[in-house]
Each structure stands twice: as C-alpha cells, then as structure tokens.
Amino acid sequence: MVKMRMRSPKYKDEVIASCPFLITDEINFANHNPLHIEIGMGKGNFIINMALNHPEINFIGIEKYPSVAAIAIKKAMEYNLPNLKIIISDIVNLESLLKKKVQVIYLNFSDPWPKKKHTKRRLTSPYFLELYDKLFKDKNLLIMKTDNDDLFSYSINSLKEHGYKIEDINYDLHATNIPNVLTEYEEKFSNRGIKIKYLKASK
C-alpha cells in the first residue's frame, strides 16, 4: 500500500489554530495515567475510538501532515476527550518531548516504503526502533497492523533482531477474537477482502 498525500482542506489552518488539545511544547494531561501513542494517526478513527473506549489511558495521535491532522482534529473536537492529545510533527523530532513517557506504540498501516533504498524510512527499521527505545518508560510494547505482506515480514525480522519478543502474531486479524479498533485504511482493505496482519511485540 502506498499512501497518497491528500489535498489540504480549506478549513485546515482554522481548525488547527482552534484545537484545544494540540501539543506544541509540553504534554499536559491532568493525570498520570499510562500514555499510548499512535505514529501516523491519519484521519484519527483509531486513536479517537481508543480514547473513547479507554478513559483510563492517555492517548496521543501523531501525524506529520497538517492537512491530514486537521481532519482528525475536527472529528475529535466533537467529543471533548480529556485523555486525547494530538501532535503535528514527524516522530523523529519528538525524542525530547516523549522521552521515557510512552508505554505502548501503535503502528497502523504505515507506509511500506517498498524500495530497498528507502528501508531506513520504514517505521520498524533499526533507525526507528532505536528511537522508540528512548521513548518507552519501562517495558517496550509495540502493536502493529498492516495490509502489506513484505512490510510485515520485514518488521518481524527487524523487531527480533532488535531484541523484541513477538508475543502475538496473526495473518488474518479479522478472523480472530483479538480486540480491535478499525482504522480508515483497515476498513477499506477489509471490505476488499484483503487480510489484515497483526503483531504485538515486547522488549
């Protein structure tokens, strides 16, 4: 799957400027609950529904494209969730902000970067796994979903080589009883009969 950059919605700047839960320089939840982050939240369906379903957990959705983040923000503003924040940035710029704070990282339908010369850009490459090591508070816990077979195989090997233990793995997530919140891409691919791959890895 190759993600296409969408056109910027007309309301983008207004929505972002008026967002009360946008993080720019400080994480300021009103409690000390566990923090889970989604890297590449897209239009926000997953992170919003996770926050709705788990008020005991704090969530941050991270999206580097403002045009996409604006759509998620507009959706999230309908709910006024105290346990949801959004960051518009590339994860590579957030080490100091998130250092030793994160307990779970979600990677949902990340860009597979299929060309060998782009391997480093994959969110499960050694480059990113080393970055995540600095973000996790204690135990590393990473949960991934994808439609892409090659990215999934690559990720399994990369995680194992980086010291992760694959706790759960499935090549047809929707045929299981694993608790699951759909993303926009997931719903689209599932409706086309494409099987969703899933893994949970810890270190």
Beta bridge partners of 87: 62
Beta strands 165-170 and 197-202 are antiparallel
Active-site residue, from 25, 90, 111, 172 = 111
Q: Mark whether 111 is an active-site residue.
A: yes
Cα distances (angstroms) measured from residue 3 to each of 6, 42, 68? 9, 10, 12
Side by side, the strands of the sheet bearing 58-63 are: 84-88, 58-63, 35-39, 104-108, 141-146, 197-202, 165-170
Task: Give yes or no for a contact between 203 and 164, defined as CB atoms under 8 angstroms apart.
Answer: yes
Q: Give ∠ CA 37-39-41 in degrees, rounded to 5.
A: 95
Nearby residues of 6 by Cβ (< 8 Å), 6 or more positions away = 65, 67, 68
Sign of CA dihedral 124, 126, 131, 134: positive
Active-site amino acid positions: 111
